[in-house]
Amino acid sequence: MEKWRGLCLVVVVAAAAMGAAEGQLRTDFYRFTCPNVEAIVQQVVSDKISQTFITIPATLRLFFHDCFVEGCDASIMIQSPNGDAEKDDHDNISLAGDAFDTVIKAKQAVEAQCPGVVSCADILTIAARDVVTGSGGPFWGVELGRRDGLISNAGRVSGNLPQPDSNLDLLNSMFRKNNLTQTDMVALSGAHTVGFSHCDRFANRIHSSIPDPSLDSDYALKLMQDCPVGVDPSIVIDIDPTTPRVFDNAYYTNLVEKKGLFSSDQVLFTDPASRGTVVQFASDNAAFTEAFVEAMVKLGRTAVKVGFEGEIRRDCTMFN
Ligand code: HEM
Ligand SMILES: *[C@@H]1O[C@H](CO)[C@@H](O)[C@H](O)[C@H]1NC(C)=O
Ligand SMILES: CC(=O)N[C@H]1CO[C@H](CO)[C@@H](O)[C@@H]1O
């Protein structure tokens, strides 16, 4: 009897290990090795949210930036004494310290219960889901089994992240490189339903001599008041002027009303190739939610390291 039970366990563990080696992410990846991992992370995330709302947008954006550069491998978390890690690139400007802090704290809490087992990449993935749920958005099962990367380099950021003045073709090609469709891209842009932008990221739209015809004139006026010429570039404003703290489809109703903050937001409505998707998400929150969840799961598969690749970092900010 004992012998059989032991054998069964060996078979199951071997199957799990083979799954990992084959490079499969799975929702129950830690079921034997750290069954409470999601509850542990969720507790840290909700404590952090109750301290500061910025936890929500910051963590969601941190996940996106991690995945688009070097894959979802926590490369964004690495701290370099020389200031040349991925997070030091100028594109990181709004990666708020609270997002890094969330992952570091969650990792510490997880290590206390299951040392050396759960990757920082997976912790960031869980946390990104939890902040969406924590602001009124959907809950979904996250795929796990990523390993932490061994490269983090500021020089490898440039050209991999979309810019606020990117046009539809450029946005599409950047997302396509990461196996994401135009619909995924439009859905993921809905993350701009929460969070902040620095004035300098859209100043060219409001302070140019020719008014931007794709920008609502009242909204433009409000933006000019919030971000006057010569304003401190560290000033931040809400990206979603309607419900800035709620994860909902207001981002799309804003676009239909010409109230997209970045031209990369507004272009999704202006360009006939993506307008239909924007109009659909604006009128159907469930359709947006479903597309967002699907796209987040796909985003989480970007260039992942699995099996024996990479490492399980002990400290998310340092290679082992
Ligand atoms: C489609 C192309 C995208 C462009 C051009 C873009 C650009 C930007 C820019 C310029 C900011 C403001 C940064 C600042 O001034 O601090 C921002 C903020 C943000 N972005 Fe995006 N983004 C894109 C897609 C995404 C995606 C896919 C996500 C996540 C799934 C995301 C999540 C966020 C969040 C949550 C914020 C607010 C951050 C905060 O408040 O700390 N963005 N984005
Ligand atoms: C995109 O998918 C292909 C086929 O599954 C895969 O080989 C490739 O690594 C993926 N690209 C990224 C960036 O994840
Ligand atoms: C949060 C963070 O690491 N921000 C850094 C982004 O990069 C600039 C340099 O380009 C640093 O000064 C910031 O500290």
Cβ–ligand 2 distance for 160 under 6 Å, the answer: no
* pLDDT at position 113: 97
Determine the CATH number of domain 180-298: 1.10.420.10
Given this model, what pLDDT does residue 158 score? 82
User: Rounded to 5 degrees, what angle do the CA atoms 134, 139, 145 make?
Assistant: 105
Shortest-distance Cα residue to atom 8 of ligand 2: 303
Report whether residue 303 contacts ligand 2, using a CB cutoff of 6 Å. Answer: yes
The 3-state DSSP class for residue 159 equals coil
pLDDT < 70 stretches in the chain: 1-23, 90-94
Among protein residues, the one whose CA lies closest to atom 9 of ligand 3 = 88
Kindly give the distance from the C-alpha atom of residue 161 to the centroid of ligand 1, in angstroms, as a whole number.
10
- Residue 272's Cβ-count burial label (10 Å; 0-12, 13-18, 19+) is exposed
Q: How far is the CA of 263 from the centre of ligand 1 (A)?
A: 12
Asked whether 189 lines ligand 3 (CB < 6 A), one says no
**Predicted local distance difference test score (pLDDT) of residue 12:** 45
pLDDT at 91: 61
How many angstroms is it from 58 CA to the middle of ligand 2?
A: 26
Which ligand number lies closest to the CA of residue 184?
Answer: 1
CATH 3.40.50.10440 fits 26-159, yes or no: no
How far is Cα 259 from Cα 254, in angstroms, rounded to an integer? 5
Residue 272, both tokens: 């006939």
Give catalytic residue positions: 65
CB 27 within 8 A of CB 125: no
Question: Annotated binding site: which residue ranges?
Answer: 66, 69, 71, 73, 75, 86, 162, 192-193, 240, 243, 248
Nearest-atom index, ligand 3, CA of 93: 6
CA atoms of 58 and 119, how far apart (whole Å): 20
Longest CA–CA span in the chain (Å) reads 83
Rounded CA separation 204/178 (Å):
29
| Extents of the domains making up the chain | 26-159, 180-298
Report the residue among 197, 199, 237, 294 best suited for mutation to probe ligand 1: largest number of ligand atoms under 8 A from its CB.
197
The per-residue pLDDT for 19 is 45
Minimal-distance CA residue to ligand 3 atom 13: 88
Name all residues whose Cβ lies below 6 A of ligand 1: 54, 57-58, 60-61, 64, 93-94, 96, 162-164, 166, 171, 185, 188-189, 191-192, 194-198, 201, 262, 264
Q: In the 3-class helix/strand/coil scheme, how is 83-129 assigned residue by residue? A: CCCHHHCHHHCCCCHHHHHHHHHHHHHHHHHCCCCCCHHHHHHHHHH
Q: Please give the annotated binding residues for Ca(2+), written as ranges.
A: 66, 69, 71, 73, 75, 86, 193, 240, 243, 248
